[in-house]
Structure 1
């Protein structure tokens, strides 16, 4: 990766890549084809506390930003996004890339495993992300969504269709980008007691347990009852698979199976992942959410797979950008215009309205 390029204007950057954790940002920066110095004439808005990384992926100029260390949730994500738009008014496409908890249901065709990639995709009733803490009970005892979040820009949805068609014929480039990342950044492949590294963590360390099985205290699951382990068909490779569907977003960290399954039942959607920031971003402007799966949102979760999952999500984002024409990005409405145009949520379930 070359560096020290300086573009003539901050307006040359039309794609924002938002991470939450430092490990997610590290993976994002490792995917850059070229790193840039801050562009000439960039003036940070007085309200903007973000610190940016500038660079290029393919034909796209990218700005990378993360939340403040130790800060999570929809509100923090919304603040980061609003600060970004205050300083960078020509951002048109936003990717939210990081880690999430997988909702694995292998018996129902959702064989999601650690290190796999989940991508938010509209299904006709949601924009790809459902805010699970925006649900109300009706008088008849049924649950009803109070609102749905807007789908990603059309240019990204067209890219999703194209990359899915390509993957029907050819293998994903994600494994190649992961290998390239480790070759360029040898430290990312090293492991220690405090750092599991950004390489695959081994099939033996990916165990899915029945919802009724609580984790036996300890750094791993060696003490957990193997009789409660869900038996899954072995895969031919350790390369991550890619899943498209609804991502559940909210401010609560889901880390026990009972809570996980109750939320999924209440949402009433075919959710495949939990995360904590997307709803805050999509309340402000539409984005695509990409998550590497680091746990199963149950009591067995640990930090072991977080770095590798950060890398798989980032590698998919890089591959997806190859299918996003730069010329069409420039024809996409600026994110700030979307925000100012008055999009707002709900009023009626399964309907999104504007006040234009």
Structure 2
């Protein structure tokens, strides 16, 4: 397919919190049209391309900045240039909140924020000063994903129940074939580095890895039949700080039933329909390190690519542009 004749031809926005997320996203494009600058007051630089029959624009957060305010600023600017976007997705890494064997989340898995009851797939909280004795303050309501995305989620989930996540593994393998230089850093790190410890077992001080953490403190988990990522659908918790405390993680799980915790989602979903997709890179505890970051980013990007195969390009043409949704809601979001 040829590139769109103008910016008005793009329908899908893909927001990446980290440069590794953006690298993985761009490596998933079926056709890469290169980088372009925003127009006028838009200060972003974008990667644009095609996935399946969708024209996609990829934006990253400014280097060294994260959180909801930063993601909101990037989203504000992207709409200055791409007026016809139908939905956006925030795709990157997050911390898993496992509860084995009921919720058996592993490193490298992917969590998709799916609406449940009154929640739009994401629950926002503010962290208290004395955890877990102080409360998390729940904040506001967030927009649910668009109808076309929710329909695609149903199809993808059914496919995974029947056949597993083999397409995601295939997309990662295709990425390595196309960009061999990424294979070393973005490959599966190895089962021996996926270690979930008891809540009361803390990381050994001044040790960069868990090499000296004792095996007896690990939570026993049943072996999986393969190392491909499992995809989980449920609530994602979004706060204002990185969580590195297993007791805080457990508090969030028991309070909200969340499967993942991250920091950027409200900047997207406070203002219009969106979807959050997170590759699991740590367990929100003191054992957190960066070994799994790039593989988790690749898994999340591959999962997003698969999801777009289930999104009908005909259906999204029938949906209102994000700009129209903002106008209908009377939002002042795009004002200077």
Map of 1:260 onto structure 2: 249
Map of 1:212 onto structure 2: 200
Which runs of 5 or more structure 2 residues have no equivalent in the other structure?
Answer: 129-133, 332-336
State the shift of 1:261 in Å.
2.5
* Distance across 1 between alignment mates of 2:297 and 2:237: 18
Map of 1:251 onto structure 2: 240
Map of 1:123 onto structure 2: 116
Residues 7, 36 of structure 1: 8 Å contact kept: no
TM-score by length of 2: 0.92
Map of 1:163 onto structure 2: 156
Q: Structure 1, residues 137-157: CA drift from partner, whole Å, max 9, x if none?
A: xxxx99774422111001100
Map of 1:150 onto structure 2: 143
State the shift of 1:86 in Å.
1.2
Map of 1:185 onto structure 2: 179
Residues 127, 151 of structure 1: 8 Å contact kept: yes
Give the 3-state SS of the residue equivalent to 1:98 in structure 2.
Answer: strand
Q: Structure 1, residues 306-338: CA drift from partner, whole Å, max 9, x if none?
A: 000000000000000010000111111111122
* Distance across 2 between alignment mates of 1:221 and 1:167: 32
Deviates more, 1:281-290 or 1:239-248: 281-290
Aligned residues: 324
Map of 2:88 onto structure 1: 94
Residues 164, 230 of structure 2: 8 Å contact kept: no
2:69 to 66, 71, 75: 75
Residues 67, 77 of structure 1: 8 Å contact kept: yes
Map of 1:53 onto structure 2: 47
Residues 6, 37 of structure 1: 8 Å contact kept: no
Alignment of 1:235-250 (within 5 A): 235-250=224-239
1:64 and 2:51 equivalent? Answer: no
* Distance across 2 between alignment mates of 1:9 and 1:278: 29
* Distance across 2 between alignment mates of 1:142 and 1:163: 36
Distance change in 2, residues 1:291/1:38 (3 Å): closer
State the shift of 1:259 in Å.
2.5
* Distance across 1 between alignment mates of 2:106 and 2:201: 18
CA RMSD of aligned residues (A): 2.0
Map of 1:321 onto structure 2: 308
